[in-house]
Amino acid sequence: MVVPVVMPKLGLTMQEGTVTRWHVSSGTTVRAGSAAFDISTDKIETEIEIEGDGVLHHAVPEGAVVGCGQVVGWLCAEGEAPPVSVAPGSPEGREAVTAAVAPEVARVDAAPGNGAGRLRASPNARRIASELGVDLGSLTGTGPGGRIVSEDVEEAAAAGGAVAVPSGTRGLMTPVARRLASRLGIDPGAVAGSGPGGRVVLDDVIAAAGAAPGRASVRAEERAPVHTVVPMTGKRAIIADRMHASLRDMAQLTLTTDATVNRLVRLRRALREEWGEAAPGYTDFVLLAVARALRAHPQCNATIRDGAIHLIDAIHLGLAVALDDGLVVPVVRDADQRSLVELAAETARLAAAARAGKLNLDELEGATFSVTSLGAHGIDAFTPVVNPPNVAILGVGRIRDDVRWSRRNKPRRRRALTLSLTIDHRALDGVPAAEFLATVRSALESPHQLLLGA
């Protein structure tokens, strides 16, 4: 019996995943519990195990973005053929997978200027192709049913893919060749192409420039690409979509205030001398101050759903951790019920697991409020973007030297820390947000209360 292998849904917010790696070749005999493939989402990268014995056949290639519940492969008995009997990476394979699994996925759009037929391409792929000057007609799509997706366009541009030239010119030009021709004032239609299908490549333009009477020789640096195209795929693409959706769907407003943290600096110095590296960090003090402030200001610990503001009883704090390929936000659960030492131990564990790529999905979901810090990178203040479905996020800057005037009009040195609170103005007005921020500031200016659990 043929059993479909589907993209798992690893959490309530997961909609799709990227198949980043197949551990076995298509047609390989596998056993239940063995590693089948790796997937990547905006939150986690993980290994997926096969759930039965049989022969595993791929239905999608590595790099494919697949919706939760959609087929990525087939598990067959010995001698049994999968519903898709052709190579999954071929046009026939893509058509067959689409017909067998999701016949409605690809909407066929008319290709601009293509009177001979219709070209399968996503709206985003068309937009990117227009921006980068890539000819869609020269591409082979890797999406469902052979549809051209944005990744196809970006890869073609990065590889020097074909760019359509104006009517009356000869065939096609690569992007680099077109840019150089424009800089040198060469008519693209006057250049004979030596590339595949008569395509004009960079060397053709250079040769044309050298043959033109009175034209200066082309400098060596003009052979280099003008820019590098980095495809926005995988985790980076998902983060980009979510941040854009956050700004699009919320009425975001940022409030800033400075906390005088002389006492906090002295207290932490003393803790470092006593406890060494195990001493709580400044971010731990901020997290605990936020957790306790949320008790007094529950409207900041909320979400908007079904046209109503839902106040959340539990206080689970998300802590943004920067990685080489993006950002993850592990969650400190019940942060308001922890002591400073317990909270510091948990944040250290989560940060280490995040950088090692060992966070599980439970550690990445359920934050009711988030904190992000750029203080270690020398940033004083910034405007953090609210992490949906939260209604607020706190940004933390660096501790810096500052001057404060006394009541007798004399300058005094102080250590200052800027706090930047971004709110969803649909759920929170400025005054209650300011009051919450003042509570956090007050706690950081009297840090012994946090240490004592007051």
Out of 66, 101, 136, a domain closes at 101
Give, for all 454 residues of the chain, the pLDDT tens digit. 788 899 888 766 677 888 888 999 999 999 888 888 988 876 677 888 888 889 999 999 988 888 888 999 999 988 888 885 444 444 444 444 444 444 333 333 333 333 334 466 665 667 667 666 777 777 777 665 566 766 677 677 666 544 444 443 334 666 556 666 766 677 777 788 776 556 676 677 777 766 555 444 454 444 445 567 777 776 777 788 888 889 999 999 999 999 999 999 999 999 999 888 889 999 999 999 999 999 999 999 999 999 999 999 999 999 999 887 778 899 999 999 999 999 999 999 999 998 888 888 889 999 999 999 999 999 999 999 999 999 999 999 999 999 888 888 888 899 999 999 999 999 999 999 999 999 999 999 999 988 875 4
For residues 219 and 291, state if they share a domain: no
For residues 305 and 430, state if they share a domain: yes
Does any domain span residue 335?
yes
Does any domain span residue 45?
yes
> DSSP string of 319-347?
E-EEETTEEE--EETTGGGS-HHHHHHHH
Q: What is the pTM of this model?
A: 0.60
> DSSP string of 73-113?
EEEE-TTPPPS--S-TTSHHHHHHHHHHH-TTS---BPPTT
Does any domain span residue 394?
yes
Q: What is the number of domains present in the chain?
A: 3
For residues 60 and 153, state if they share a domain: no
15: helix, coil or strand? coil
For residues 187 and 70, state if they share a domain: no
Does any domain span residue 260?
yes
Taking alpha carbons only, the member of 257, 367, 254 closest to residue 301 is: 367
Does any domain span residue 20?
yes
For residues 89 and 131, state if they share a domain: no
- Domain at 447, CATH number: 3.30.559.10
Phi then psi for 305, rounded to 5 degrees? -150, 135
Which residue's entry shows tokens 């990525």?
A: 72
For residues 418 and 301, state if they share a domain: yes
Q: How far apart, in Å, are the Cα atoms of 191 and each of 162, 186, 206, 213, 377? A: 15, 8, 10, 15, 50
For residues 287 and 429, state if they share a domain: yes
For residues 54 and 158, state if they share a domain: no
For residues 195 and 276, state if they share a domain: no
Does any domain span residue 228?
no
Q: What is the pLDDT of residue 145?
A: 58
Range of the domain at 213: 123-223
With contact defined as beta carbons under 8 Å apart, do 441 and 433 qualify? no
For residues 284 and 319, state if they share a domain: yes
Q: What is the pLDDT of residue 29?
A: 92
Does any domain span residue 308?
yes
Q: Which region holds residue 145: left if phi is over 0, alpha if psi is between -120 and 50, else beta?
A: left
For residues 316 and 404, state if they share a domain: yes
Does any domain span residue 112?
no
- Domain at 42, CATH number: 2.40.50.100
Give the residue numbers marked as catalytic. 425, 429
Return the sign of the alpha-carbon dihedral for residues 153, 158, 161, 164.
positive
For residues 424 and 344, state if they share a domain: yes
